[in-house]
Amino acid sequence: MANIVGMIGCTHVPAIGGAVAKGLQQDPYWAPFFAGFPHAHAWLREARPDHVVVIYNDHGLNFFLDNLPTFAVGAAESYRNSDEGWGIPSLGDFAGDARLSWHLIESLVADEFDIASCQRMLVDHAFSLPVSLLWPGDGAAKIRAVPVAYNTVQHPLPSPRRCYKLGQAIGRALASYPEEHRVVLLATGGLSHQLDGTRAGFVNQAFDKECIDSLLTDPAALTRYSVLDLIEKAGNQGVEVMGWLAARAALGPHVRQVYWNYHLPISNTASGLWVLENQA
């Protein structure tokens, strides 16, 4: 059985990659954001996951408008990072585990999720930045990833309810894996933000708090919202909280909050770093 040790929610903003490349972690603008990661590292040292299931949204790198699955799971032994146009350095390759990926794919399809399986998959900043911040340096070599991408680019997007159910199905898939592993779920993106249109720069701290409170104690509560509700409350790109919802749904009902860091703005985004331990 693959044991789910917990989840981490982590904002992804391309400018983080620029800040790392320029060594700006102690800069007053960036310090409150980077200050969170030692807390996550300390928990990861205790929780000792050997695999990470990364629930994230591709931003037009591996998938584009001509070919856009609602849900896609990587099934490769490694994943190349590339920059979809922000001018940030690429971070090399990330280790996968095709065996665990195929188990997840088999289980999800049997569970009525018609996902795309990707034996080759480029991963964008939404994958590379959170993974490299959480497992810096040679830590990246010790963690093997299964990327799970969901569509936030072209409507219709999956609903919050569908993302919740996907997370539950991922939880069942991991529980039925025949090998013993320790797995952490990593949801990237969010929290509230809008990059385009007349509301560019929009954030909603009250809604971010509502999301975190719900995810902690009653995650299904967020499934009452439609995608359009989420856009109205969290901004066009704030729909990325659906990844957090999916990851939380993979955990059991009882969780312990280990760490919470909320800070804005990082670029246009209300940033969050959240560590939740799964209680048996």
The stretch among 69-77, 184-192, 220-228, 252-260 that binds Fe ion (CB under 5 A) is 184-192
Task: Output the smallest distance, CB 213 to ligand DHB, in A.
Answer: 22
Phi-psi sector, 95: left (phi>0), alpha (psi -120 to 50), beta: beta
Residue nearest to Fe ion (CB): 189
6 binds, among Fe ion, ligand DHB, none (CB under 5 to 8 A by kind): none
Task: Output the smallest distance, CB 3 to ligand DHB, in A.
Answer: 30
Q: Is 197 exposed, middle or buried (0-12, 13-18, 19+ CB in 10 A)?
A: exposed
- Per the structure block, which two tokens stand in for 8? 């981490």
Task: Output the smallest distance, CB 267 to ligand DHB, in A.
Answer: 3
Nearer CB in complex with Fe ion: 189/272: 189
Please name every residue paired with 6 in a beta bridge, in sequence order, or none if there are none.
Answer: 184, 277
- Which residue is catalytic, options 103, 125, 181, 263? 125
193 a catalytic residue? yes
Nearer CB in complex with ligand DHB: 70/269: 269
Task: Output the smallest distance, CB 136 to ligand DHB, in A.
Answer: 21
- Which residue is catalytic, options 59, 103, 193, 263? 193
The Cα 83–Cα 177 span in angstroms is 33
| Phi, psi dihedrals of residue 135, rounded to the nearest 5° | -125, 75
Q: How far apart are the first and last CA of the chain?
A: 14
**Binding string, residues 142-181; x marks residues near Fe ion by CB under 5 A:** ----------------------------------------
The Cα 168–Cα 184 span in angstroms is 14
Residues 6+ apart with CB under 8 A from 2: 51, 100, 174, 175, 177, 179, 180, 181, 182, 183
41 a catalytic residue? no
Q: Is 124 exposed, middle or buried (0-12, 13-18, 19+ CB in 10 A)?
A: buried
162 binds, among ligand DHB, Fe ion, none (CB under 5 to 8 A by kind): none
Residues lying near ligand DHB in the complex (CB under 6 A): 12-15, 59, 189, 193, 195, 237, 267-269
Q: Using CB under 5 A as the criterion, which residues of the chain lie in contact with Fe ion when the complex forms?
A: 189
